[in-house]
Amino acid sequence: MEEKDLEYFTQLLNTQLAELENRTKYTDIREMTQNNGLQDPLDIASSDMEKNMLLRIRERESRLISKIKQALELIAEGTYGTCEICGDDIPVKRLEARPVTTQCIECKTREELIERIRQNK
């Protein structure tokens, strides 16, 4: 991968990381787990659904933060953009679409197909 591409992805990943970390910093779990004096069962149920949704979003963001950090480590190691399965270069267009990917489209497609077959057994 060319140096200019590595610089671009480093900046992109660092920006995404900062945004996600900033967003999660302001999501207070304690605040989400309080019922705020709600007594009506429908209000409590609605509040619980909202809290569950926020927790799922936070978990998803936490996983993405881990993937971004991993991608930045791969850049530092000089292996970013190399498929972890076959060792081929991952096309820049794929990395632009999914900068945290560690697999080329062919290997990822094959992995997903195998997973679907396993689930159907």
Distances (CA, A) of 6 to 52, 77, 78, 118: 37, 12, 9, 36
Confidence at residue 90, expressed as pLDDT on a 0 to 100 scale: 98
Confidence at residue 58, expressed as pLDDT on a 0 to 100 scale: 86
Q: What is the Cα–Cα distance from 72 to 108, expressed in whole angstroms?
A: 20
Sequence spans of domains, the chain: 1-80, 81-121
Q: At a CB cut-off of 8 Å and minimum separation 6, what does 88 contact?
A: 82, 104
- Answer yes or no: are the C-beta atoms of 81 and 90 closer than 8 Å: yes
The more confidently predicted of residues 86 and 35 is: 86
pTM: 0.80
Report the percent of the chain where pLDDT is more than 70: 88
Confidence at residue 31, expressed as pLDDT on a 0 to 100 scale: 57
pLDDT tens sequence across 66-121? 999 999 999 999 999 999 999 999 999 999 999 999 999 999 999 999 999 999 97
Confidence at residue 52, expressed as pLDDT on a 0 to 100 scale: 85
10 Å CB burial of residue 39 (0-12, 13-18, 19+) is: exposed
Q: Tell me the CATH architecture of domain 1-80.
A: Up-down Bundle (1.20)
